[in-house]
Structure 1
Amino acid sequence: MTTQTAVPADRTTTPAGRPRTPRHWLTALRRTPVSLWNDDITDWAAALTYYAILALLPALLVTVSVIGLANPDATTALIADITAFAPAESGEALRRPLEAATEQRTAVWLLVGTGSVSAIWSACSYLAVFRRAMHAMHHVRDNRPPLRQAHIIVVSAVGLLVLLMTSAFALVLTGPLARWLGRRVGLPHEGETLWVILKWPVLLCLVACLILVLFSTGPRSARGIRRGLPGGVLAAFLWLTASALFALYATQVGSYSRLYGSLAGLVVFLIWVWFANLSLLAGAQFNVELDRPEPEKESGKAAVTPATGEG
C-alpha cells in the first residue's frame, strides 16, 4: 500500500468540459477491477474494516442508549431495524450487545461518554486511512502536514457519526412524528403510510451524503458532487448487491457456524463490512478511471507527469 510519486499520462484528469461518451463509461468500468487489483485496494478495504468496526459498534451503542433515554419503548424497534440489515448470524451478534446496553440504565451516561470518544477517535482513524487510499488511487502524494489535516478529519468524522445517528433516529422517531402530524391535519392513517413510503428515499439520501463526505477526503481534483456522484452510485449498487448475495450465501450455503462456532456471527459481520468498504473503494476507483483520458493512439509511450502534493 505504497503511494507512488509519479502519475502516468493516461491517469491524468480529463480536460474540463470534455464529453463522456458511452464508450468512455464502459472503458472506465472495465478498467476499474484491473486497477483495484493493481493498486492492492483489497488491503485498503481490510484496514478500513478494522477501524470501521472500532467506530461503528460504539456509535450504535451510543445511539441506542440516547434513544433509550428519550423513549425506552423505541429501542426494541431500533435494534430490530439495525439487525435486520445485517446478514445471517451477524444480526444476532449485534443484537446481544445492543440489548445489553439498554439494560444498563445506571451507567448509561458513562457509556455515552466513553462510547462517543471511542467512536470519534476510530472514525478519525478510518477517515485518515480512506484519505491515504484515495491519494494512492490517484497516484498523488499527500503533502499536507498532519496538523493541517487534523481539524478537517475530526469535523468529517463527527459529520459521519451524525449522519449515522440521524439514520437511526429517522428509522424510529420519525414514524411516530408522521402519525402525529397526520392526526393534526385529520389524516391519521395517510401520514403513517406516507412516511413508510418516504423513509427509504430519506435513508438513501443520508447514505449518499455519507459516501460523498468520504470521497471528499481525496485530492482536490477529485472533490465535488459532480465528480463523486458516478462512483457513489456504483458504490451503493455494489454494496447492496454484495450484501444480498453474501446474505444468501451465508444463509443457504455458508458453513461459518461449523467453522467458527460461536464466533460465526462476528466473522460474518466482519466480511460484510469488508464488502461495504471494498464497494466504496471500487466506486472511488471508478471515478478515477472516469477522469482518466483515453490513451493517445498516435503515441506509443506514456509520458510521466510529476505528482502534485494536493491536499
Structure 2
Amino acid sequence: MLRRFFWRLRHPRNRRLRGLVRLTARTVESSGRYRLTGLAGEAAFFTLTSLPPVLLGVVGTLGYLAGWLGREDTMAAVEEALVQAAGTVLSPEAIDQLLRPVLVEVLGSGRAGVISIGFLLALWSGSAALNVYIDTISVVYGLGGHRNVVRQRLMSVLVYVVGLLVSLVLLPLLAVGPSVIAGWLPEVSALVYGLYWPAVVLGSIASLSTLYMVSVPIRAPWHEHLPGAAVALVVWLAGSFGLRIYLDVSLENSPVYGALAAPMGVLLWLYVTAFAVLLGGAVNAELDTVQPSREIAIARRAAREAAE
C-alpha cells in the first residue's frame, strides 16, 4: 500500500498531493525546530491563570448589563451557553459544584470587585499568553526580534483588551441572538438555527486569521492567513474530541485522578487550543515561504543577515 502511495505521489498529475505532503513535512519540521509543543504549554499556563478572573470579570459585567440587554432570560441563556461549553471538557460534578454556583451568584447582580480585580489580574496573565502567540508566530515567519519588546508587549495588551470587549458583545449575541431573530421572523427560524453553527465556524476562522495578521510584524493580506486558521480550527476540534474521550476513559473513572479530572481537563484543553493556534501559524509561515510577499521576503532576508 505504501509503495502504491509513493508511486502515485510521483505521478506528474499529482502535483497538489506532492505539495500537500511537502507542506506537511515542512510544518512538522518547523514545529520541532521552534518548540511549538513547549511554547503551547507556556501559553496554556498563562491562559489558565487568567481564565478565572477574566471569566468572572466578563460575567460580572454582563450581570450589570442585564437590564440594558432588555430580555429577562438573557442571563439565563448566557449561563446555559457557558455551562454547555464547559461541559465539553469538565465533568458534570465539577460543573454542578464549582462553575454553576459562581455563575448564578455573579450573573444575578454583577460585582464591581470581581470586575476591577479580575480585569487587572487577567490583563497581566492573559496578555502574557497572547504575547506567546504573537512572539512565536513572528519567529516561525523568520521575523523574530523585528518588533521592539516593549511595543510587542503593549500590542499584546491592546489586542487582549479588544478581545475582552468583543466577548462582552458576542456572549449575549451567541446565547440569545438566534432565538430573538426567530421570534421576530418565525418563518425563517429553521434557516436561522441551521446557519448558527456555520456562522460560528466562519467567525472563528475570521478571528484566527485576524490574530495571525496582527501577529506578523510585516502586514500581509488578511486572506493569506485563512489556510492556517482553517487548519487550526480542524486540529482544535479533533483535539478537543480526543481529549474528551481520554478524560472519560482515563481520569474520571480513576480513583486516583478522579478529583483532578476537572483542573487537568481544563489545562489539557487549553494546551490543545494553544498548540492548534501555533500550528496554524506555522502552516501559514510555510505557505509564505513558497510565495512570499515582497515586504516579508525583504524583512526575512534582513533578519537572516543580521543574525549572521
TM-score (norm 2): 0.76
- Inter-partner Cα distance in structure 1 for 2:183 and 2:193: 14
Q: Which structure 2 residues correspond to residues 81-96 of structure 1 after superposition, within 5 A? A: 81-86=81-86, 87-90=88-91, 92-93=93-94, 96=98
1:38 aligns with 33
TM-score (norm 1): 0.76
Judge which range, 72-81 or 24-33, deviates more.
Answer: 72-81
8 Å CA contact 2:63–2:110 kept in 1: the answer is no
8 Å CA contact 1:52–1:126 kept in 2: the answer is yes
Give the C-alpha shift of residue 164 in structure 1. Answer: 3.3
Judging changes above 3 Å, is the alpha-carbon distance between structure 1 residues 266 and 252 closer, same or farther for their aligned structure 2 residues?
A: same
Letter in 2 for 1:54: T
8 Å CA contact 2:53–2:122 kept in 1: the answer is yes
8 Å CA contact 2:58–2:164 kept in 1: the answer is no
Give the C-alpha shift of residue 220 in structure 1. Answer: 3.2
Give the C-alpha shift of residue 256 in structure 1. Answer: 6.9
8 Å CA contact 2:74–2:172 kept in 1: the answer is no
Q: Which structure 2 residues correspond to residues 54-73 of structure 1 after superposition, within 5 A? A: 54-69=49-64, 70=66, 73=73
Judging changes above 3 Å, is the alpha-carbon distance between structure 1 residues 89 and 101 closer, same or farther for their aligned structure 2 residues?
A: closer
The structure showing larger relative contact order (alpha-carbon pairs under 8 Å, at least 6 residues apart) is 1
Give the C-alpha shift of residue 106 in structure 1. Answer: 6.3
Post-superposition CA distance 1:220-263 (Å, at most 9, x none): 34743232111100000010011112212222344574333322
Letter in 2 for 1:117: L
Point out where structure 2 has 5 or more consecutive residues left out of the alignment. Answer: 1-14, 292-299
- Inter-partner Cα distance in structure 2 for 1:163 and 1:72: 22
Post-superposition CA distance 1:4-26 (Å, at most 9, x none): xxxxxxxxxxxxxxxx9553233
2:115 aligns with 112
1:102 aligns with 104
1:145 aligns with 148
8 Å CA contact 1:91–1:265 kept in 2: the answer is no
1:205 aligns with 202
> Do residues 266 (structure 1) and 263 (structure 2) align?
yes
1:234 aligns with 231
- Inter-partner Cα distance in structure 2 for 1:40 and 1:288: 15
Counterpart of 2:145 in 1: which secondary structure?
coil
Higher helix fraction (1 or 2): 2
2:47 aligns with 52
Point out where structure 1 has 5 or more consecutive residues left out of the alignment. Answer: 1-19, 183-187, 295-303
Give the C-alpha shift of residue 107 in structure 1. Answer: 6.3
Aligned residue pairs, count: 275
Post-superposition CA distance 1:251-304 (Å, at most 9, x none): 23445743333221110111011011101111111112222349xxxxxxxxx9
Judging changes above 3 Å, is the alpha-carbon distance between structure 1 residues 201 and 116 closer, same or farther for their aligned structure 2 residues?
A: farther
